[in-house]
Chains A and B, each alone.
Chain A
Amino acid sequence: MTHPTDDLTALLDGALAPARRAEVEAHLRACGACRAERDRLHGALALLGALPPPPEPSPFFTTRLAARLAREPAPSAGVLARFLAWRWRLAVPVAGLAAAAAVAVLTVRHQRAEELALAADLDLMENYELVASLGDVETEEDAAVVASLDQLGRTGRTP
Chain B
Amino acid sequence: MTQDPDAALMLAFQRGDAQAFRVLYERHARAMVAYCHRFVRDAGRAEELAQDVFVKLHRAAHRYSPSARFKTFLYRVATNHCLNELRRGEYAAREASPGAPEGDDAPDLDALPSPRASPQQELEATRLAGAVVKLLEGLPETQRAAFVLCRFEGLSYQEIAETLETSVSAVKSLVHRATVAAAGALAPFGPETAQELAP
| Chain A contacts to B: CB under 8 angstroms | 6, 8-10, 13, 15, 40-41, 43-58, 61-62, 64-65, 68-69, 72, 75, 77, 80, 108, 111-112, 114-116, 118-120, 122-123, 125-126, 153-159
Q: Does B150 contact A (CB under 8 A)?
A: yes
Please determine whether B43 and A44 come into contact, CB atoms closer than 8 angstroms.
no
Chain B CB within 10 Å, residue with most, of A40, A49, A122: A122
Rounded to whole Å, the gap between the CB of A92 and the closest CB of chain B is 21
Q: Is B50 an interface residue (CB 8 A)?
A: yes
B48-91, CB under 8 A of A: which get 1 and which 0?
00110011101111111111100011001100110010011100
User: Which of chain A's residues have a CB closer than 8 A to the CB of B132?
Assistant: 48, 51
User: Which residues of B are in contact with A by a Cβ distance under 8 Å?
Assistant: 25, 29-30, 33-34, 37-38, 43, 46-47, 50-51, 54-56, 58-68, 72-73, 76-77, 80-81, 84, 87-89, 92, 110-114, 125, 128-129, 132, 140-142, 150-152, 156-157, 162, 165, 172-173, 175-176, 179-180, 182-183, 186, 189, 191, 193-199
Question: Is the pair B67, A64 in contact by a Cβ cutoff of 8 Å?
Answer: no
Cα(A45)–Cα(B150), bound, Å? 11
A47 contacts B189, C-beta separation under 8 Å: yes
For this complex, 5 residue pairs linking A to B, each with C-beta atoms less than 8 Å apart, are A54-B37, A54-B111, A114-B67, A115-B66, A116-B76
Q: Which residues of A contact B33 (CB under 8 A)?
A: 54-57, 61
Interface of A is mostly: helix
Chain A residues, Cβ within 8 Å of B66: 115
B185 — nearest CB in chain A belongs to which residue? A44
Which of B38, B50, B77, B183 gathers the greatest number of chain A CB atoms within 10 Å?
Answer: B183
How far does the Cβ of B52 sit from chain A's closest Cβ, in whole Å?
9
Q: In whole angstroms, how far apart are the Cα atoms of A119 and B72 in the complex?
A: 10
Given the complex of chains A and B, what is the CA–CA distance between A40 and B176 in angstroms?
13
Do B84 and A123 have beta carbons less than 8 Å apart? yes
